[in-house]
Amino acid sequence: MMDTVLLVFANKHDLPNAMNAAKIPDRLGLYPLHHRNWYIQATCATSKDEFYKGLDWLSIQLWNKK
């Protein structure tokens, strides 16, 4: 599990009551996993750009694991 890569898509960021992406790692308890590679990508279903940014990050991480 030490080589695990975690990508979190924080969807619905276009809504007014959406949680700030900076608060998500705390809520998910990710800060103690500082030795692991994780990334939060804020997304909105109407815009594919953010989704692709997350997938780009993931592909780079997986490529570097080889």
Confidence band of 62 (pLDDT split at 50, 70, 90): very high
Q: What residues form the annotated binding site for GTP?
A: 11-14
Q: What residues form the annotated binding site?
A: 11-14
- Has residue 65 got a pLDDT over 80? no
What is the distance between the alpha carbons of residues 31 and 38, in angstroms, rounded to a whole number? 10
Confidence band of 35 (pLDDT split at 50, 70, 90): confident
Structure tokens at 42: 């804020």
The mean of the pLDDT values for the chain is: 88
pTM for the predicted model, two decimal places: 0.81
